[in-house]
Structure 1
Amino acid sequence: MSPIGILGIKLGMTQIFNEKGDCIPVTILKAGPCTITKINNLTDTYRQIQIGYDYIDPQKISKSMIGYFNKIKTPCFRYLKEYKIIKEESNKFQVGQIVTIKSFQIGDLLDISGISIGKGFSGYQKRHNFSRGPMSHGSKNHRQPGSIGAGTTPGRVFPGKRMAGRMGSNKTTIKNLKIIDLNLEENIIVIKGSVPGKKGNILYLRS
């Protein structure tokens, strides 16, 4: 198992059937190949390894990023990600090395991070699972918040009060997702269950 992770994108979801005939919901990911772009010394015991994913036309990025990639003498990448590992494990990596899904095996457990799907401005019931009020007998409190604080003292609403607002579009990590299948030629990983984000979302995979 590789001490560093890999980047990929979400292709979509489907379902497969195992040998017992059980239906398993799975997510299809395209992970890698990634290129190690930089290795830095953080301390005497730790190293910082940066990987790049998804080649991009230099005309589509800023001049400062073009200068950065020219300095480290690598192609231009759309995404960069840094990992912190111990010094002994960093000896097996070098700048320009290609990282693929060959380090993964069927049955391994992965932690996958990404930006969750944005739900827009949502109310109390959807965002915080609040209970609604009565829906009949003259009730005028159906989906309202109710009291949001005391009156004269303190005379304000405390920060962090659970109220309606923007929901989703946050960095989310789902742990211990099992690898069901691998396609090394196409860099495809089949994961049991769902992963954060929508189709085409960038994901960070780590064992």
Structure 2
Amino acid sequence: ISAGPCKVLQIKTKDKDGYESVQIGFEKIEKESHIKKTMKGKEFKHIKEFRCVSPESKAGDDIDVSVFKEGEKINIVGTSKGKGFQGGVKRHGFSGRKATHGVKHEQRMIGSIGCRYPQRVIKGRRMPGRMGFQRITVKNLEVMRVDRENNLLALKGAVPGRKGTLLEISNF
């Protein structure tokens, strides 16, 4: 995983903002014409805020993969792959109907979705719909190797999303 370098854009304190956090920018925008006037001074494609107890860095500092150590457990947050509109069998793991005794054209249908009373579909009923493209957190992934020269992390386990997906990596 390519992780950094990131720049600390702002430190929020409890006295001034009501909570403590660090605002980090990733992938600097090079062209001046691509920066909105409201974003002057924060010329980054991706800006994310991380809550922390006591920020150790100052605005303008760089953060790279050297903050992670081999063998350390980290959490990764990302967006899962979108799978489009899926039926109940794939989306929720429903078993479907029998393949014999008069069952025709409805092997993968979800079956009844309610009763005579209350004469409506209860909220939260698992039905076909869009699957995937959700925020997923994978916890306790182990850092296998840290390459400081190229800002790369090698992890043990899978991370959510497609190749090139933006991930949030945290070690707390």
Return the TM-score normalized by structure 1.
Answer: 0.76
Give unmatched runs, 5+ long, in structure 1. 1-28
Amino acid at match of 1:119: K
Matches within 5 A, 1:26-65: 29-43=1-15, 46-56=19-29, 57-65=31-39
Residue 168 of structure 2 is matched in structure 1 by 204
- Structure 2 stretches lacking a partner, 5+ long: none
Distance 1:145 1:42 in 2: 51
Q: C-alpha separation between the residues in 1 aligned to 2:149 and 2:28?
A: 18
TM-score computed with the length of structure 2 as normaliser: 0.91
Q: Indicate the structure with greater strand content.
A: 1
Q: Specify which of 90, 101, 106 is matched with residue 126 of structure 1.
A: 90
CA distances 1:132-186 after superposition (whole Å, capped 9, x unpaired):
11113321330111110112x2221122110000000000000000111111100
Q: How many residues align?
A: 168
Partner of 1:81: 48
Residue 99 of structure 1 pairs with residue 63 of structure 2 = yes
Partner of 1:143: 108
